[in-house]
């Protein structure tokens, strides 16, 4: 029971869940569902925090410019959205003060704030991408807490570089799931070692590794674009 900072809530998850559950209902039904979901988060986490903040994803995403192999989230073009989604987002902004991102995802804003707050923050989501952020985590579905450390978060990020992410239409190595990725990265501890292992797995194709990394990395600073560790060393 360490944190006494801020609960950072993935509002996109809340909005979609409230929307789909009230698809056949009214705006009032949608509002009630949002209230129910957020109150549950507040009740489960209030003893850990002095404040909360909800985040929503707005228009634009810098990742579209870096996706060369496949269109980023191109597999979602024909996926139906909840009927009341726009109303729900406005409601969350007006009642709960949700912050909407511009040119990036809510996940990026959450990661930036979590980095500022350090271990005093709690990320509330079900999005596996968040597990690269070193801090406390609260799973909205299972209502369980976990802790991600620096080394664990970094290795998870490099594991994703190898596996890709079907949900976001990011291609990984052919037939490389988490088990194979973990074997490739087993025993490696430094970022340079993880980077070298990924480049070797992609048969020396650094551009593919960098592409995946830039699509998967959640920003820790405003306007940050991920750089390979050998480039980071030259900059610093």
Same-domain check for residues 179 and 131: no
Which CATH number covers residue 123?
3.40.50.1010
Instruction: Output the pLDDT for position 232.
Output: 60
Spans of the chain, pLDDT less than 50: 234-236
CA distance 54 to 14: 9
Torsion over CA: 155, 159, 161, 164 (sign): negative
Instruction: Output the pLDDT for position 233.
Output: 54
CA distance 86 to 78: 17
Of the residues 97, 121, 147, the one at which a domain ends: 147
Same-domain check for residues 176 and 72: no
Host domain of residue 115: 5-147
What does the DSSP 8-state code read for residue 43? H
Same-domain check for residues 52 and 131: yes
Same-domain check for residues 134 and 157: no
Same-domain check for residues 124 and 167: no
Q: Which residues pair with 99 in a beta bridge?
A: 55
Task: Flag whether 236 is in a domain.
Answer: no
Task: Flag whether 34 is in a domain.
Answer: yes
Instruction: Output the pLDDT for position 28.
Output: 97
Same-domain check for residues 160 and 216: yes
Same-domain check for residues 29 and 126: yes
Same-domain check for residues 165 and 143: no
pTM for the whole structure: 0.95
φ, ψ of residue 136 to 5 degrees: the values are -80, 145
pLDDT, tens digit, for every residue of 93-115? Answer: 999 999 999 999 999 999 999 99
Assign residue 210 a region (left: φ > 0; alpha: ψ between -120 and 50; beta: otherwise). Answer: alpha
Same-domain check for residues 118 and 170: no
| Separation of first and last alpha carbons in the chain | 36
pLDDT, tens digit, for every residue of 7-48? Answer: 999 999 999 999 999 999 999 999 999 999 999 999 999 888
Instruction: Give the total number of structural domains in the chain.
Output: 2
Same-domain check for residues 199 and 214: yes
Contact 14, 57 (CB under 8 A): no
**Chain centroid to CA 43:** 23
Instruction: Output the pLDDT for position 5.
Output: 82
Task: Flag whether 162 is in a domain.
Answer: yes
Contact 98, 55 (CB under 8 A): yes
Which CATH number covers residue 207?
1.10.150
Task: Flag whether 154 is in a domain.
Answer: yes
Cα–Cα distance list, 17 to 21, 85, 101, 141 (Å): 6, 10, 19, 11
Same-domain check for residues 123 and 215: no
Sequence-distant (≥ 6) Cβ neighbours of residue 100 within 8 angstroms: 55, 56, 57, 58, 89, 93, 106
Contact 108, 218 (CB under 8 A): yes
φ, ψ of residue 112 to 5 degrees: the values are -65, -45
Instruction: Output the pLDDT for position 1.
Output: 60
CA distance 193 to 187: 10
Same-domain check for residues 12 and 62: yes
């Amino acid at each position: 029971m360490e944190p006494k900072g801020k609960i950072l809530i993935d509002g996109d998850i809340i909005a979609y869940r409230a929307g789909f559950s009230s698809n056949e209902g009214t705006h009032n039904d949608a509002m009630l569902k949002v209230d129910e979901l957020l109150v549950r988060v507040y009740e489960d986490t209030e003893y850990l925090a002095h404040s909360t903040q909800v985040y929503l994803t707005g228009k634009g995403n810098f990742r579209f410019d870096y996706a060369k192999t496949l269109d980023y989230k191109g597999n979602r073009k024909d996926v139906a959205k909840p009927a009341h989604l726009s109303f729900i987002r406005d409601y969350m902004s007006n009642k709960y003060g949700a912050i909407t991102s511009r040119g990036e995802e809510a996940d990026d804003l959450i990661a930036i704030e979590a980095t500022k707050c350090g271990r005093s923050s709690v990320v509330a989501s079900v999005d596996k991408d968040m597990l690269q952020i070193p801090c406390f985590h609260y799973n909205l579905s299972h209502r369980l807490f976990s802790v991600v450390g620096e080394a664990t978060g970094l290795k998870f990020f490099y594991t994703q570089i190898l596996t890709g992410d079907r949900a976001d239409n990011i291609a990984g190595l052919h037939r490389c799931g988490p088990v194979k990725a973990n074997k490739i990265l087993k025993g490696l501890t430094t970022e340079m070692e993880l980077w070298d292992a990924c480049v070797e797995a992609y048969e020396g194709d650094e551009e593919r590794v960098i592409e995946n990394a830039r699509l998967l990395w959640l920003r820790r600073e405003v306007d940050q674009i991920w750089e390979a560790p050998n480039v980071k060393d030259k900059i610093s």
